Structure 1
Amino acid sequence: MKTIPYKKPTETTLSFPASNTRVSAIKYLSAALLLAFGADASAATRINQVGFEPQSEKLAVVTDGTASSFEVVAADTGKTVFTGKLGAPALWKPSAETVRLADFSALKTPGEYRIKIDGQTLSDRFAIRDHAYRALNAAAIKAYYLNRASIALPPQYAGAYARPAGHPDDKVLVHSSAASRQRAEGSVLSSPKGWYDAGDYNKYIVNSGISTYTLLAAFEHFPQYFAKQNLNIPESGNGLPDILNEALWNLDWMLTMQDPNDGGVYHKLTNKAFDGMEMPDQVKPTPRYVVQKSTAAALDFAATMATAGRIFKAYEQQRPGLSARMMAAAETAWNWAQANPAVVFRNPADIKTGEYGDAQLGDEFAWAAAELYIGTGKDSYYRAIKADQLPATTPSWSDVGALAWISLAQHRAHLTPAADRKLIESRIDGLAASLAANWKASAYRVAMQEKDFVWGSNATVLNQAMMLLQGYRLNGKADYLNAAQSGLDYVLGRNATGYSFVTGIGARPAMHPHHRPSAADKLAAPAPGFLVGGPQPGQQDKKDCPVPYPAKLPATSYLDHVCSYASNEIAINWNAPLVYVSAALDQLTAGASMEQKVELSTLTRQEELLQFDSFNNDTALALGMKVIELARAAGKSVAVNITQDGTMLFYHGMPGTNADNANWIRRKSNLVNRTGHSSFYTHTEVKNAGGDYDHIPGMDMKEFAAHGGSFPLVVKGKGRIGTLTVSGLPGAEDHAMAVAALQAYLNVDL
């Protein structure tokens, strides 16, 4: 069920109902959701309740029954549009179910459908459409706005979820554990903004680090996806993409948590005990404290600030001096951690809130060193990573080493010679291959193993998907993309509980999260867009819950009740991979489908037909403006370069592009000048031959890039005279944009 409307495929605008009433909240979720209140959560067919991109792998899990085939029927008419055979029965130990897979990946026609199996009820409704996850992605980011501290949420932005401001945090006390010569116990600090960490009202640097980084990584990897997104937050329209506006609300708070006297970072800002289940403005006023500096906090802060510093360098006009301030803060925090390498946080005796204690700090040192290395180019930081000793693992707040590999892989084309590029790529690919092998062997077709059903298991499956997507971005292996798709399918309903684990999304969403505003606002529906923790067999809250868990098995030990902080709480670090994975699958699946459609003969024909009778500076200007015109019409953001005989005649970077795009342009253009073919031709030729287009023998890939987007400019009778290069989209789309501009300018019918 689509719960968040968007204006058009290129611009997502998120809004909530304006009336703060029980009725409007119910209308917001729609009548379909009301019907689900009484639905059987153990329905025999489990499916992603949102839907799929046309080119994605599409699987459903079928439990029980004797049927051997299935149909996909149109949701409104019941007309059969696809038939298929069910896979062989297989046992999935985490849920003790024998299940069969229904694979309808071949169905690519947009529409709304259900799965039909003889003797069983129809599956939940799902859609096949382009940009299938735009609304989900917008809701997952908007959830951060709904969890903001120190600000009122007015109806024009929050709709039914409007509330007065709580926890201004402008008069925070220095706890005895945090006292120093310059800041004595009881000193008063101002530390407003930030997000409430989870279902409680405190703010924690360690968890903020991975959460904010993951949002920044989503933007850095897919800037065009977020360029036109309108989340309807107070900052919308200020010249920054809204995902960066939302990240800044937390980054601004994080900066206040650094002691300017020594560079150390306070571990958390908190009450002495958790607030009650009340609205933020209604809780009993109690002192708030910054508590003890810690090595983990300093390093997570340093890594996050270094990441933000490089991203906000492109937005100097909107936030003058911020990038430099962030990089300086990152280096001073690193220096503090170097001088204090083993300050492990433990709650002082009078502090009873979340601890986020971590005694293993090698991964934090590696992550911070990696981000500082990328930001400064200093080889000393690369050596500090100790890369040969750093494994690639599924990230979590306590294990952030994989974040170092993500960033190193993203920036591998322009790292210094000190970096071991082969090691970077092998770490990413090795983890992705292991996860994909688990996915392929799983009866439920998920990478999750029994050991992965930990507190916040839904974040585990999405962080696994995020790492699979890093592997796919390196080498384009279809299994990696498909396994990542299955991770999103799992949290949206293809799981053993039958729930969509995202509030407000799907036919059977979690309705009673452990989240103070959702519990206290007297609305029927919880705040939308939050990923709940998910099944895990520990049941640590069992004694506090008035109703029993339905089961103790790892994959079914889930309770949709506000009491269940062990399986049904929300958290900012759980939502972050939901943001990343939904955006990545929307964009990468579309890009993969374009690559699948292109034959080498088609690319040869393009080069033969798209040639000029003559070419000069005016030609370059008109051609460059044609690319910009097409990009604007499509709602895309690209950088465009036209070079003739080594002289740049045209360059323009649209909003959202940065220096990375200029580097891609240089490397792709170099490849065209070297080979004489479009960069997408070389990409396709190497890929079709089973080779690695990022490791072409005889080419230094710091100087060449075999990714689509650069096209040879040829004058008839004279030969190749230059290049047209586009950067900012997936390679196949960059290439398509360049070809479309050439075709329009030359008036050639391909």
Structure 2
Amino acid sequence: MKKNCLTIIATLWLASLCVSTAMGAAASWIRINQLGYLPRGIKVAVWATKGAAVPATFQLVDSASNKTVFTGSTGKPFGRYGPFNETARLDFSSWKKTGTFYLKAGEVRSPYFRIADNVYAGAADFTLRYMRQQRSLFNPFLKDSCHTHDGYTLYGPMPDSTHLDVAGGWHDASDYLQYSTTSANATYHLLAAYRDFPQVFGDRYAANGLEGGNHVPDILDEARWGLDWLLKMHPRDNWMFNQIADDRDHNGMRLPKEDPFYGRGFERPVYFCSGQPQVRGKFMNQTTGVASTAGKFSSAFALGYDLLKDKDAAYAGTLRQKALTAYDMGRKQPGVCQTASVKSPYIYAEDNWVDDMELAAASLYRLNGKDDYRQQALDYAAQEKVTPWLGKDTAHHYQWYPFINLGHYELARQLKGPSRQTITGYYQTGIDKVWQQAKNNAFYRYIPFIWCSNNLTTAFAVQCYWYRQLTGSNEYAALEQANFDWLFGCNPWGTSMVYGLPAHGDTPEDPHSAFSHLGHYPVDGALVDGPVYTNIYKNLIGIQLSKPDAYTEFQSDLAVYHDDFGDYSTNEPTMDGTASLIYLLAAMDQEGRNHNNAVSGNNAAYTYAAGAVIRGDTTRKTLTLVFTGDEFADGGQVIRRVLKQQKVPAAFFLTGKFYANPAFRPLVKQLKADGHYLGPHSDQHPLYCDWQKRDSLLITHAAFEKDLAANYRKMQVLGITKNAAPYFLPPYEWYNDTIAQWTRAAGLQLVNFTPGTRSNADYTTPAMKGYRSSAEIYQSVLQYADTRPAGLNGFMLLLHIGTDPARTDKFYNRLDELITDLKKKGYRFISLGQLLH
């Protein structure tokens, strides 16, 4: 929770988050999705009070002008919920214009929020940060290794304490246990997110998780990290392991390292999938088979094969074989494979397995087309039509994991007509069980407040989304959106449940995590467990809050949530829940892109990042060359000559200093006469925001406007009007959402280069740490064109019009060769205006 009052006073955005003005004598609040809303999507906030009076109307107010743009009825009161005596839904879905707004009902104001097609852009990649931070073996966040000695076997056909190399994978939560079930589920979600929404993800990290793109989407790198570990946990056709370590791990909070808690040095125990009950303190777990784990392995391997077969045939071949052997283990040993615990009563007590085998069978049918697999998938689907927790008010911890029947979606995608309707009908039945209860409260909430309630919320929102995609029905769209909104602030506590998202919002600050508590490191993108029933909270072992409860007035007899590291039940991040959220955020990002396409009236699928367009239509082999300039113009005449000879239009974003330089003016006039786009790049080339903390602005709105206006005045002197230059590329190519908002307010569209190649490093000098030679840059561009699914389609490929004399290896001398090679590959160079229209 953001609580620094000095910051709140200094920042209007943050100030708006703390507004809860009394209506009459009773405190009232308006809860919103702090990430924002899509223009054509469902847009609902919840008004709540500790009093009784309900305002008849509410207003949507433009934040810039403070003018009311929409007035709506609060509708029927929904009555008591949690800490509130009265609640109402504020529906402003009919308002479809973009901008920054706040809601007002009576005297109560909501925080500011945005309505735009790109409000969810970049969120999935942000959340992916937490997955990298959870890596075991080499941890790229700490730039160090941990748990390198895993591990020694238990319950297997080999002698106990046999060493087996299973180092790798992800830590499960803020402890350092590792479970095959959660890891396989997380891996599948990451792979599915890439399969379904490939345009959403960027490439800023290498395969080892360190910064620096490798021409592979980061989501695929992370999924492969999971696949690599799963392969180790299924080393032979009839060997499979279920977990590394156990609750002896809970020996105090610490950063990941080599843990000597298990009696064999730094080795940790590796539990074999025996299909038989295993140790659980004074008790045994209730394992009955292997299929719940084997099915998850098989489906992850099968989808991995499908996505990697054209990229790494040998690796994909291994995945294919392991998908088959894992499924065979599940067929031979049906039943559930529960986790083991030594000291405490808490385990992942999974009680269902046919959903996992259904997903595996459907995935294998997609892999090889054998009808037996499809029939087996249909048989499994009929055995568990509805995930058992749906419509219930409670369940055991991870009892019905993974909280959603992924097999129904995979199977229904392959079917048509009545067969598909049967499977989607299963989804509808489960959704409707929730809806019949949820429709009676203003938050549309009927998810059990058990441990990891946020995981259930995410899974349920995905199920609603899949039902909508499979059927085209919007019957449950409002319920789907309400569950998504809940995760980002439209809940009784008014807080996002994701660390650092959105950056300006009320989000967890003190999660139950050693990274944040001991290391004071951000756990960016982590989805915390979420609220639990108050009676559960009161009966848990070892919970003690470390400070006064900032959400005291929003706790109730129904449920509690604490932003306090002492509460492991509501505020501990989980790896698998975060992976599921990555899929959901990618889906929502794609929704915005689809909406934008519909509004634009063509098929262009623009890519946004923090409010700027960074890529055009990825379905066409077209791209635009973009050049920036400030101090240097030594390449100007070479570039102009090549563009003229190759008949290639380009865009030049130049600073006011550049336009005003007498030595550069003849070149500017020539470029203008040649028909190239000439646009602004700021006047004095200031740095807008901190390099390390992008949210931190280094410029005021007034200074931004003054500098940009000066840029345009110097352009006007050379005959370049603002109307002819509506696109603005920020200095240093570095900006944030606020800069994008200010740009829109100025009547302009912020653009930036398309990341992924090293072209923008053509300014670097040998003395710089990030120096890249022209040969490296050239190769990176061609490699990206050859290895990525969409290649350079829609690219804004950025170069510099001039560079420091210390760089003698001038990349612009290879421009003619680059254009020729790309033309040979079928690419067509178009103007910026063509790319973005």
What is the TM-score normalised by the length of structure 1? Answer: 0.68
Taking structure 1 as reference, are residues 360 and 152 closer, same or farther at Cα in structure 2, changes over 3 Å only?
closer
Give the AA of the match of 1:136: A
Can you list the C-alpha shifts for 1:364-411, whole angstroms capped at 9, x where unaligned?
A: 333332322332322322333313223133796734571110111233
User: Structure 2 CA distance, aligned partners of 1:626 and 1:290?
Assistant: 46
CA shift, 1:351, in A, is 6.2
CA distance in 1, matches of 2:581, 2:339: 30
Residue number in structure 2 paired with 1:337: 330
Which residue, out of 384, 397, 400, partners 1:398? Answer: 400
Partner in structure 2 of residue 193 of structure 1 = 168
**Aligned position for 2:142:** 163
TM alignment of 1:517-528, pairs within 5 A: 517-523=515-521, 526-528=522-524
Rounded Cα–Cα distance in structure 1 between residues aligned with 2:624 and 2:180: 39
| Alignment partner, residue 218 of structure 1 | 193
Please list, as runs of the form range in 1=range in 2, the aligned pairs for 1:509-588 lying within 5 A after superposition.
509-523=507-521, 526-537=522-533, 538-539=536-537, 540-541=539-540, 544-546=543-545, 550=552, 553=556, 556-588=559-591
Q: Deviations over 1:282-327 (max 9, x none)?
A: 8657431101315566543444443443444443464331222112
Partner of 1:665: none
2:789 counterpart residue number: 656
Residue of structure 2 in register with 1:128 after alignment = 115
Q: Is the 8 A contact 1:147 1:196 kept in 2?
A: yes
One-letter amino acid matched to 1:489: D
- Give the Cα separation in 2 of the matches to 1:298 and 1:89: 47
Post-superposition CA distance 1:511-540 (Å, at most 9, x none) = 2111222221135xx412111111111104
List runs of 5+ in structure 2 lacking aligned partners: 22-26, 276-288, 391-397, 604-616, 627-750, 755-784, 792-827
After TM superposition, list the pairs within 5 Å mapping 1:201-216 onto structure 2: 201-216=176-191
2:92 is aligned, of 98, 104, 111, to 104
Distance 1:657 1:545 in 2: 51
Q: What aligned pairs does 1:54-453 form with structure 2 within 5 A after superposition?
A: 54-64=39-49, 65-94=53-82, 97-120=85-108, 122-153=109-140, 162-175=141-154, 177=155, 179-180=156-157, 183-226=158-201, 228=202, 230=204, 233-234=209-210, 237-260=213-236, 262-270=238-246, 272-281=248-257, 286-294=266-274, 299-316=292-309, 318-342=311-335, 344-345=337-338, 347=340, 350=342, 355-385=347-377, 386=379, 387-393=381-387, 398-400=400-402, 402-412=405-415, 420-435=419-434, 441-446=439-444, 448-449=445-446, 452-453=448-449
Higher relative contact order (CA 8 A, sep 6+): 1
Are the equivalent residues in 1 in contact too, given 2:453–2:532 (CA < 8 A)?
yes
SS at match of 2:321: helix
Give yes or no for contact 2:529–2:571 (8 Å, CA) kept in 1: yes
Q: What is the Cα deviation at residue 39 of structure 1?
A: 7.6
TM-superposition CA deviations, 1:621-675 (whole Å, max 9, x none): xxx9994327999999xxxxxxxxxxxxxxx9994379xxxxxxxxxxxxxxxxx
Q: What RMSD in Å do the two structures reach over aligned CA positions? A: 4.1
Residue 252 of structure 1: how far off its partner (Å): 0.8
Match of 2:738 in 1: none
| DSSP-derived class of the 2:590 partner | helix
Contact 2:131-2:575 within 8 A present in 1 as well: yes
Partner of 1:736: none
Question: 3-state SS of the aligned residue for 1:321?
Answer: helix
Report the secondary structure of 1:91's partner residue. coil
Aligned equivalents of 1:304, 1:406: Cα separation in 2: 17
Q: Distance in 2 between matches of 1:480 and 1:597?
A: 27
Aligned to 2:824: none
- Secondary structure of the residue aligned to 2:293 is helix
The verdict on how the C-alpha distance between 1:405 and 1:291 changes in structure 2, with shifts beyond 3 A counting, is: same
Instruction: Report the residue type matching 1:473 in the other structure.
Output: Q
Larger CA Rg, structure 1 vs 2: 2
Cα 1:236/1:299, change in 2 over 3 Å: farther
The structure-2 alpha-carbon separation of the partners of 1:140 and 1:632, relative to structure 1 and needing over 3 Å to count, comes to: farther
The answer (yes or no) to whether the contact 2:195–2:307 under 8 Å persists in 1 is no
Query: 8 Å contact 1:265–1:301 — kept in the other structure?
Result: no
Partner in structure 2 of residue 613 of structure 1? none
Give the partner amino acid of 2:362: A
8 Å contact from structure 2 (residues 233, 241) kept in 1:
yes
Structure 1: runs of 5 or more not aligned: 4-22, 154-161, 604-623, 637-651, 659-740
Give the aligned length: 579
Contact 2:56–2:74 under 8 Å retained in 1: yes
- What SS does structure 1 have at the residue aligned with 2:46? strand
Which residue identity is paired with 2:186?
A: S
The CA distance in 1 between the partners of 2:19 and 2:146, in whole Å, is 39
Deviations 1:262-294 (A, max 9, x none): 233334445743242111138657431101315
Against the structure 1 CA distance between its residues 365 and 590, is the aligned structure 2 distance closer, same or farther, given a 3 Å change threshold?
same
Could you tell me which residue of structure 1 aligns to residue 496 of structure 2?
500
In the other structure, the counterpart of 1:680 is: none
From 36, 49, 52, give the equivalent of 2:37: 52
Distance in 1 (alpha carbons) for counterparts of 2:203 and 2:339: 40
Whole-angstrom CA distance in 2 between matches of 1:464 and 1:85: 29
User: Residue 329 of structure 2 aligns to which amino acid in structure 1?
Assistant: W
How many angstroms apart in 1 are the aligned matches of 2:272 and 2:297?
19
- How far residue 58 of structure 1 moved from its aligned partner, in angstroms, is 0.9
Counterpart of 1:463 in structure 2 is 459
Contact between 1:392 and 1:405, CA under 8 Å: does it hold in 2?
A: no
Deviation at 1:428, TM superposition (A): 3.2
* Matched position secondary structure for 1:452: coil
Q: Structure 2 vs 1, CA of residues 219 and 442 (structure 1 numbering), >3 Å: closer, same or farther?
A: farther
Counterpart AA for 1:398 = W
State percent identity of aligned pairs.
24
Call closer, same or farther: CA 1:222–1:115 in 2, change over 3 Å: same
Q: Report the TM-score, using the length of structure 2 for normalisation.
A: 0.61
CA distance in 2: counterparts of 1:81 and 1:351, whole angstroms: 60
Q: Distance in 2 between matches of 1:371 and 1:564?
A: 39
| Distance in 2 between residues matched to 1:283 and 1:520, nearest whole Å | 17
Q: Does 1:487 align with 2:462?
A: no
* 2:500 alignment partner, SS class: coil
